[in-house]
Amino acid sequence: MTDTRAPAIVSLERLRASLADAGLDLPLDGAAEHRENAAAAVRQIDDYIRPRLADLDAPLLAVVGGSTGSGKSTIVNALVGTPLTRVGVIRPTTRQPILVHAPVDAGWFASDRILPGLARVRGALSSPGTPASVAGDSPAASRIHELMLLAHEAVPASLAIIDAPDIDSVAEDNRALAAQLLAAADLWVFVTTANRYADAVPWKLLDGAAARSITVGVVLNRVPPGAADEVLPDLTGMLKHRNLADAPIFVIEEQPLDDLGMLPAAAVAAPSAWLRAIAGDRAERTRIAARTLGGAIEDLDRRVAAIAEARQAQLDWIAGVEAMAADSYQAAVAAVDEATRDGALLRGEVLARWQDFVGTSDLFRRVESWFSRTRDSVTAWIVGRPSPVIDVETQIESGLHAVIVDEGGRAAAVTWAGLQRTAAGRTVAEQNPALATQSDGFTDEAAAMIRDWQGALLQLVRDNAGNKRVKARVLSAGLNVMTVALMIVVFASTGGLTGGELLIAGGSAVLGQKLLETVFGEDAVRRLAAEARRDLQERVQAVFDIERARATAALDALRFGSAPESLRRESRALLDDVRAAAGS
């Protein structure tokens, strides 16, 4: 038996590991629910599926569950025939769950085979004659994660009973624990009352039980005298309507409790007999256990499908945000490229200065150039202003720098605005406030990048001044002048200038080109310009890639988790293995 189950157990462990790492941290629509769902699935595997898969013959676990105030504890006490657990009028009552079992079954429950998340405490019976209102432990909130074990002769062998907390009170811990215990049980004794049987909350749980083919017995407690005839058909109809037609209904009339706060044994005779009959029949026990296990695994598969979908939604969202960030930074790269084409960066000032430097009309060229050079060096000497070539160079530098910084800021703002559009994005934004603007060092990065590029240009010019003659020409015009001329040619390349501008811009750029061509030759200039441009593009791309990587890094933590397809695959494998084991 164990051999045929071995593959199923391996598959189960795999699925559990994947579920435990589902990666549903983004607050997308319904993600909280799925996160809870995944946690519940892991708990159910630990609490129920794993131990039941390992041993179908272990004692059955019957959970007595229901609404607050429906009298669950009173019924457990009546079933055992002695006050075990505290009952009372203060809602919610039961906090610490109590598992009562036959003394011979003690071994099955002392270990953490089932419900490993709950610590075990061995409880002692209250001394005979203790009223139920003070029986057992006082309900302390801190003890909710302890499972009290009680051995009692009145419990049939091979069937343990758990008194669960309520499913619907204001105490959130109670509700969570009740759900956990209901998920861990083979058998439900569902307690409701005449006042409550139409409540929406318990029916939601019963729908779940029907979906998992759990064996359910319904106790209709606190029925006012004479009301049973009215209520019973109504309840039967509702059960049938919800695919729970098989569930037996046990009616208990509203009746005074005895001095110890106990219902008379006769009141619970019917449910007691039902439980005993199941406990006494080994084949029936195995059938119930197998049915509940099968139902739980099928239900698990449905849940995994939903969780996988939720996980996919998370990955899709992350991919969407990344694409959005990539788009805005790519747009920035394109914008910088646009701004460094067809003279957009050179219009006005820069060209005017370049003009001043190389483009003065021939008539005055010699005089002027002598005069202005002298004047410039005198001014430079007095005022400390740089020479005109350096001036043009600085103009281009600061212009290019402004364009890159502006586009970096714009891309960051667009990405940020994109994040603000969704709740999940807002959380990411909140955790990464730095994404609102370009990174602190971006201005310096851009400046350094431009300096590096200029350095590379200088090197390029120097490397291309191969033979002595060219080298001499380069030196006579000045290395700086060559570099600036190259920049002008790069930034002026491809037309698109209009009107009078063309004359000036084109003219000066042509002058720059002429200057270079006389030194290097026509082909070399074209090649140099293309190389310089490509170099710039690569550097710009690299700078923006670093900026964009901040957004990617912010999303990295959210990326960790199981792949949706592996969740689905593992769940399918588990189903197949369990069916194969059942078939053999």
Partner 1 sequence: MSVSLDDRLAALRIVRTAGGDNIPAALAIEADAVLARAGRRRELSPGSTVVGLFGATGSGKSSLVNALVGAEVARTHVRRPTTSAVLAVTWDPEGAVDLLDWLEVRDRVVRDEPLDPRTRQLVLLDLPDFDSIEAGNRAIAERLAAQVDALVWVVDPQKYADDVLHAQFITPHARHSEVTLIVLNQVDLLSPADVPKVVGSLKQIVDRDGIPKATVIAASARTGVGLAAVRKAIGDLAAARSARDARLAADVAAVADRLDSPGKARRIEPKARADLVEAVGVAAGADVVARAVAGSYRKRAAQATGWPLVSWVARLRADPLTRLGLGPRRAGTDPAVHRTSLPPPNAAARAQVSIAVREFADAAAAGLTETWRSTLRSQAETALGTLPGELDLAIARAPLPARGSWWWVVFAVLQWLVVLGGLVGAGWLLAAAVLPRLGMPAPEIPQVEGWAVPTLLIVGAVVAGILLGLLGAALGGLTAASRRRRARQRVLAEIEKVVAEDVVAPLATVVQRAREFAEALRIAGS
Extract the tokens encoding 106: 């003690």
- Cβ proximity of 558 and 24 under 8 Å: no
Q: How far is the CB of 510 from partner 1 (least distance, A)?
A: 18
- Burial (CB < 10 A; 0-12, 13-18, 19+), residue 256, is exposed
From 134-142, 378-386, 415-423, 477-485, span contacting partner 1 (CB under 8 A): 415-423
190 vs 192: CA distance, rounded Å:
7
Q: Single out the residue of 21, 36, 349, 556 in contact with partner 1 (rule: CB under 8 A).
A: 349
Restricting to residues 116-175, name those near partner 1 by CB under 8 A.
168-172, 175
395 vs 401: CA distance, rounded Å:
10
Extract the tokens encoding 539: 């550097």
Other C-beta atoms closer than 10 Å to the C-beta of 441 total: 10
**Nearest residue to 181 (alpha-carbon basis) of 163, 198, 194, 207:** 163
> What is the per-residue DSSP string for 128-168?
TT--TTT-S----GGGGGEEEEEE-TTSPTTEEEEE---SS
Q: How far is the CB of 243 from partner 1 (least distance, A)?
A: 15
Residue among 149 and 227 whose Cβ is closer to partner 1: 227
By CB under 8 A, tell whether 385 contacts partner 1: no
Q: How far is the CB of 332 from partner 1 (least distance, A)?
A: 11
> What is the per-residue DSSP string for 36-87?
HHHHHHHHHIIIIIHHHHH-TTSPEEEEEEE-TTS-HHHHHHHHHTS--S--
> What is the per-residue DSSP string for 504-560?
HHHHHHHHHHHHHHHHH-HHHHHHHHHHHHHHHHHHHHHHHHHHHHHHHHHHHHHH-
3-class secondary structure, 574: helix
Restricting to residues 422-461, name those near partner 1 by CB under 8 A.
426, 429, 436-437
Q: How far is the CB of 514 from partner 1 (least distance, A)?
A: 23
From 64-72, 209-217, 282-290, 466-474, span contacting partner 1 (CB under 8 A): 64-72
Q: Single out the residue of 340, 415, 483, 508 in contact with partner 1 (rule: CB under 8 A).
A: 340
From 79-87, 118-126, 189-197, 385-393, span contacting partner 1 (CB under 8 A): 189-197
Q: How many of the chain's residues bind partner 1 (CB under 8 A)? A: 61
By CB under 8 A, tell whether 345 contacts partner 1: yes
Q: How far is the CB of 316 from partner 1 (least distance, A)?
A: 23
- Cβ proximity of 566 and 524 under 8 Å: no
Q: Single out the residue of 39, 40, 216, 227 in contact with partner 1 (rule: CB under 8 A).
A: 227
3-class secondary structure, 196: coil
Restricting to residues 464-503, name those near partner 1 by CB under 8 A.
500-501
By CB under 8 A, tell whether 383 contacts partner 1: no
3-class secondary structure, 345: coil
3-class secondary structure, 342: coil
Q: How far is the CB of 129 from partner 1 (least distance, A)?
A: 19
Q: How far is the CB of 227 from partner 1 (least distance, A)?
A: 4
85 vs 90: CA distance, rounded Å:
14
Residue among 128 and 256 whose Cβ is closer to partner 1: 256
Residue among 437 and 459 whose Cβ is closer to partner 1: 437
Q: Single out the residue of 111, 394, 398, 459 in contact with partner 1 (rule: CB under 8 A).
A: 398
166 vs 178: CA distance, rounded Å:
6
By CB under 8 A, tell whether 283 contacts partner 1: no
Q: Single out the residue of 393, 407, 547, 577 in contact with partner 1 (rule: CB under 8 A).
A: 407
Residue among 231 and 252 whose Cβ is closer to partner 1: 231
- Cβ proximity of 183 and 50 under 8 Å: no
By CB under 8 A, tell whether 28 contacts partner 1: no
- Burial (CB < 10 A; 0-12, 13-18, 19+), residue 321, is buried
By CB under 8 A, tell whether 203 contacts partner 1: yes
Extract the tokens encoding 329: 């930074």
From 65-73, 146-154, 302-310, 322-330, span contacting partner 1 (CB under 8 A): 65-73
Q: How far is the CB of 548 from partner 1 (least distance, A)?
A: 19
x/- binding map, residues 228-257, to partner 1, per CB under 8 A? --xx--x---x-------------------
Residue among 426 and 469 whose Cβ is closer to partner 1: 426
By CB under 8 A, tell whether 68 contacts partner 1: yes
Extract the tokens encoding 414: 């667009």
**Nearest residue to 350 (alpha-carbon basis) of 539, 501, 514, 532:** 501
Residue among 453 and 520 whose Cβ is closer to partner 1: 453
By CB under 8 A, tell whether 205 contacts partner 1: no
Q: How far is the CB of 69 from partner 1 (least distance, A)?
A: 4
Other C-beta atoms closer than 10 Å to the C-beta of 142 total: 9
Extract the tokens encoding 64: 């007595």
Q: How far is the CB of 433 from partner 1 (least distance, A)?
A: 9
Q: Single out the residue of 251, 290, 326, 405 in contact with partner 1 (rule: CB under 8 A).
A: 405
Residue among 188 and 442 whose Cβ is closer to partner 1: 442
* Per-residue burial over 468-493, b = 16 or more CB atoms within 10 Å of its CB, e = otherwise: eeeeeebeebeebbbbbbbbbbbbbb
Binding interface with partner 1 (CB under 8 A): 67-70, 89-92, 168-172, 175, 193-201, 203, 222, 224, 227, 230-231, 234, 238, 338-340, 344-350, 398-400, 402-403, 405-407, 409-410, 413, 416-417, 420, 426, 429, 436-437, 500-501
